Amino acid sequence: QVQLVESGGGLVQAGGSLRLSCAASGSIFSINDMGWYRQAPGKQRELVAIISSGGQINYADSVKGRFTISRDNAKNTVYLQMNSLKPEDTAVYYCNYRSWLKLGGDHYWGEGTLVTVSS
C-alpha cells in the first residue's frame, strides 16, 4: 500500500506561481512514475505532467513551458512548479503514483489539493 500526501494549493492571481508537493510513503517500488492530474469543475480528470524514476518527463500541451515537474527519489517526493498561472488552470490537482512492480502497474492517488487562479 502507498499513501500520498499533497500540499501547496491555494488562491493566486493570474500570472502568479504556486508549487505543489506530493510525498509518497509505504511500499515504494524503485521503478515507478509519479505525476499530477487535475480536474476542473464539470470536466474530466486530465494528465498535467508525469516523471519516471529515471527522469523521463511528459507534459500536457496546455502547461508546457509554464509548469515544471521534478522529483526527489530519496524522499519519494514529486513537485510541480506552476508559473504564469491562468484562470483555466483552476482545478483540484491530484498526485498519482504508479508502481511497475507488476505488469500494467498499480496506481495510487492523493486526496487532491485545490488550485484557484483568479482573473
- Over residues 73-114, the pLDDT tens digits come to 999 999 999 999 999 999 999 999 999 998 888 999 999 999
Mean pLDDT on 16-32: 96
Residue 104 confidence (pLDDT): 86
Q: Are strands 67-72 and 57-59 parallel, antiparallel or unpaired?
A: unpaired
Give 47: exposed, middle or buried? Use CB within 10 Å, 0-12, 13-18, 19+: middle
Compute the distance between CA of residue 48 and CA of residue 62 in angstroms, rounded to an integer. Answer: 8
**Strand, helix or coil at 46?**
strand
The mean predicted confidence, pLDDT, of the chain is 96
d(CA 40, CA 46): 9
Tens-place pLDDT, residues 34-84: 999 999 999 999 999 999 999 999 999 999 999 999 999 999 999 999 999
Which pLDDT value is given to residue 55? 95
What cell numbers appear for 23 in the block?
510525498
